[in-house]
Structure 1
Amino acid sequence: MTKLDLMVVENFTSKSQIQSKSVLDEFRDRVQSNRKTSGYNLSDQLLLQFLSSREYNQTEALTILSNYLTVVNERPDLFSWREELKRVANDGIYVHYPINNVNGSKVVIIKPGSWNPNVISFEQWFPQTLFFCEISLMDRSVQQNGIIGIIDMRNLSWSQIYHIGVSGSRLASHITDYCFPWTIQSAHLIYENRLTNMAFNLFKPFLSAKLRQRINFHGSNLETLYKFVPKSNLPPSLGGTNQEFSGEFYNNILDQHKQSVLDHWQSLRKRKVSN
C-alpha cells in the first residue's frame, strides 16, 4: 500500500461511508472482469474513491476508473515530475487554493493569461495540475464535495489560445472531466474579454453535457461569483478577504507530496496480463 493509499484510508472509517463490503466486492469483481481494468493491483481505498465519486454507481465508476488507468499508462510524460513544474505556481497559472469552500469543495484557480507560451509549453506545465489533483483527492471532503473552478480571463491573448489548440483542449477536458474521481460542481469564468468565446469554443466540444450546464459567466461582476464561493474563501486577487498564498507556498505542498503521488502512479503501471 502506497503512502497515498494510507492517507486516503484514514478518511474511510465508518460503515456508513463504505456502505457495505458486498458493494466493494461486487465492484472489484467487475473491475477484474473488465478487459481495460483487469490485472491491476488496485487497493480497496482507490476503488472506494471512484465509487464514492459517482455515488456508488458502479457503471459510471468503472468508466472513470478505466479512463484514469488508461491515461496514466499511456501518457507517462504527463504523469511524471520535473522541476520546471514549479514555474506554474510561481507564475500564478494554476493552483488549488488551500482554503476549501464552505461546503468542503476545493477551489481551483486558473489564470491562463499569466502563462507565457514562449517560456513553457502547455504540455510542459499541464502535469503540475495532475499533481495538485491527486493531492487534493487525499482530502475526503474533496472526494465527497468535488471541486469548483474559477477561470480568470484577464490578460488572455491569442498566443495562449493558439498554443493550447484543439489537442490541448481535448487533453485537459478529457482528464479533468472524465478521468479523476471527483465531481466538478461548477466552473466560473470571470473578467471575460473578446477572446473568451473563442477559447471556450475550443473546450466546449470535449466537455460533458453535465459540465457545460454548470459553467457560469460573471464578467467583472464578482458579486454573482460570491454566491457560489464567498469572499471569505477567496484570495484578495479575486476580491476575497482571505489570504493570498505565494508560489513558494504551493511549491512546498508539491515538494511535500510529490513522492507519494509518484509512488501511486508507479503502482498503477504494474499490470499482470493473462495469457
Structure 2
Amino acid sequence: MAPQIRPLTPELQKVAIEQLKEDPDRLEADLLAFRTWIEQQPHLNPRTDDQYLVAFLRGCKYSLERAKSKLDKFYTLKTKYPEFFRVTSTTDGKFREIHQTGAIIYMPTPLNENGPRIGIWRMGLVPVEKYSILECMQVAQALQEIAILEDDYANINGIVFIMDMQGATAAHLFQMTPSMAKKFTVFSEEALPLRIKGQHFINTITGFEQIFNMFKPMMSKKMQSRLFVHGNKMELLTEQIPLKYLPVEYGGENGTVPEIVANWEKKLDDYSEFFKDNANYGTDESLRQGKPIDFDGLFGSEGSFRKLNVD
C-alpha cells in the first residue's frame, strides 16, 4: 500500500532527496521498518500514521536509528513532563488568550519562498503577572506539533526563530529556571523532529545575557553556532532574514499579525480533537525493555548536564 503522505512540491522534493537522503522509491519500506520497530516496543504508544512518522525520518535525515531515538524521547518526555510538553487542549481560556496576543506566530511565507519556516516570539506582549512561561510554552508546543503534521517547509528545511524582547522585562526572563532550561533544550535537540536552523535575538534587555549564558552551554556546538544576538540592530537581523519575510508590523510584506493569528485560531479549532487525543499516547516505563531511562543522567544531577549531539 502506497504511503499516505502529501506530495511535496518539486522544489521541496529535490531538497529532500539531496539533503535529507529521501528516496521516494524506498519510502514505503522505510516507513514499514520504522513501524515494525515501534510494534516491538511494549513501552511505546505513539501516533503511527504515515505523515507523522515521515516527519521523524526527515528530521533525522533517514537515519532509522536516530528516528527511533527521537520518537522514543518525544513520547517519553511528554509522558514524564506533561506540563512542559504534552498539550491536550487548545481551547481553554489562557491558551487562547496567549495565542490571541500574537506573541508566538509562524510566518505564512517561508524564508526565501522555499526555505525554512520563520517563527517569531514577542515576549513583551505577554503580561508576566498574568501568564507563566510554561503557559506560553504550551502554545509554542502546540504550534510546533501542528507544523510536524502539516508544514512541509518546516519538515524539510527546518525552522528559524526570532526572539523579540521589545517591551519585555527581567521578570519575563527570570521565569526560566536552570531546570526548565535543561528540559526545553533536551526536548528541542533530542526529541523534536523539526530541525532548528537558526535562533535570532533582537531588542535584548537587561538580564538577557545571564539567561543566554545559562542556555548556551547546554546546547551542542552546532546549535551554538546557530545563535545570533543582534541587540537593537534590526539591520543585522535583516542581513540574514530579509525584511520582506517579516510581518507588516516590522515593515515587511509577510502578512499582518492579526491576519496570521486569525488563520491559526481556525487551525487550533480544527485540531482540538487531535490535541485531546494526545492524552492517549505516550510511554509506560514499567514495560520498557532493557535499562530504564536515567533521567538524572539525561538532565544532570547537582547541576551537571550531559552534552548533546545534533545534526
- TM bin (shorter chain): 0.7 to 0.9
- Describe the shift of the 1:213–1:249 C-alpha distance in structure 2 as closer, same or farther (beyond 3 A): same
Looking at structure 1, the residues matched to 48 and 170 of structure 2 have their Cα atoms a distance apart, in angstroms, of 43
- Describe the shift of the 1:172–1:239 C-alpha distance in structure 2 as closer, same or farther (beyond 3 A): farther
State the partner residue of 1:73: 79
Alpha carbons 2:6, 2:51 under 8 Å: kept: no
Alpha carbons 1:106, 1:136 under 8 Å: kept: no
State the partner residue of 2:222: 210
Of 258, 262, 269, 2:272 maps to 258
Alpha carbons 2:43, 2:283 under 8 Å: kept: no
Is the counterpart of residue 42 in structure 1 residue 48 in structure 2?
yes
Of 149, 164, 179, 2:176 maps to 164
DSSP-derived class of the 1:241 partner: coil
Identify which range, 140-149 or 44-53, moves more after superposition.
Answer: 44-53
Counting only pairs closer than 5 Å after superposition, residues 88-103 of structure 1 correspond to structure 2 as: 88-102=98-112, 103=114
| RMSD over equivalenced CA pairs, Å | 3.0
Is the counterpart of residue 63 in structure 1 residue 74 in structure 2?
no
- Describe the shift of the 1:21–1:253 C-alpha distance in structure 2 as closer, same or farther (beyond 3 A): closer
CA shift at 1:107, angstroms? 0.8
DSSP-derived class of the 2:235 partner: coil
CA shift at 1:12, angstroms? 6.8
State the partner residue of 2:29: 22
DSSP-derived class of the 1:19 partner: helix
Looking at structure 2, the residues matched to 147 and 18 of structure 1 have their Cα atoms a distance apart, in angstroms, of 27
State the partner residue of 1:105: 116
Structure 1's unaligned 5+ residue stretches are 1-5
Deviations 1:220-249 (A, max 9, x none): 332332233222211133342332221444
Of 230, 246, 250, 1:238 maps to 250
CA shift at 1:41, angstroms? 6.1
State the partner residue of 1:153: 165
Counting only pairs closer than 5 Å after superposition, residues 224-235 of structure 1 correspond to structure 2 as: 224-235=236-247
State the partner residue of 1:86: 96
Identify which range, 59-68 or 170-179, moves more after superposition.
Answer: 170-179
Structure 2's unaligned 5+ residue stretches are 14-21, 290-311
Looking at structure 1, the residues matched to 207 and 81 of structure 2 have their Cα atoms a distance apart, in angstroms, of 30
- Describe the shift of the 1:43–1:270 C-alpha distance in structure 2 as closer, same or farther (beyond 3 A): farther
- Describe the shift of the 1:95–1:243 C-alpha distance in structure 2 as closer, same or farther (beyond 3 A): same
Looking at structure 2, the residues matched to 187 and 274 of structure 1 have their Cα atoms a distance apart, in angstroms, of 35
Counting only pairs closer than 5 Å after superposition, residues 173-192 of structure 1 correspond to structure 2 as: 173-192=185-204
Alpha carbons 1:53, 1:182 under 8 Å: kept: yes
CA shift at 1:34, angstroms? 5.2
- Describe the shift of the 1:185–1:162 C-alpha distance in structure 2 as closer, same or farther (beyond 3 A): same
DSSP-derived class of the 1:142 partner: helix
State the partner residue of 1:3: none
Deviations 1:101-123 (A, max 9, x none): 22332111012222322101122
DSSP-derived class of the 1:219 partner: coil
- Describe the shift of the 1:217–1:274 C-alpha distance in structure 2 as closer, same or farther (beyond 3 A): closer
CA shift at 1:10, angstroms? 2.3
State the partner residue of 2:131: 120
Looking at structure 2, the residues matched to 236 and 196 of structure 1 have their Cα atoms a distance apart, in angstroms, of 26
CA shift at 1:47, angstroms? 2.2
State the partner residue of 2:306: none
Looking at structure 2, the residues matched to 256 and 34 of structure 1 have their Cα atoms a distance apart, in angstroms, of 31
DSSP-derived class of the 1:110 partner: strand
Looking at structure 2, the residues matched to 170 and 122 of structure 1 have their Cα atoms a distance apart, in angstroms, of 14
CA shift at 1:190, angstroms? 1.2
- Describe the shift of the 1:273–1:152 C-alpha distance in structure 2 as closer, same or farther (beyond 3 A): same
The one-letter amino acid paired with 2:232 is S
Looking at structure 1, the residues matched to 288 and 193 of structure 2 have their Cα atoms a distance apart, in angstroms, of 27
Alpha carbons 2:55, 2:155 under 8 Å: kept: yes
Percent same amino acid at aligned positions? Answer: 21
DSSP-derived class of the 1:135 partner: helix
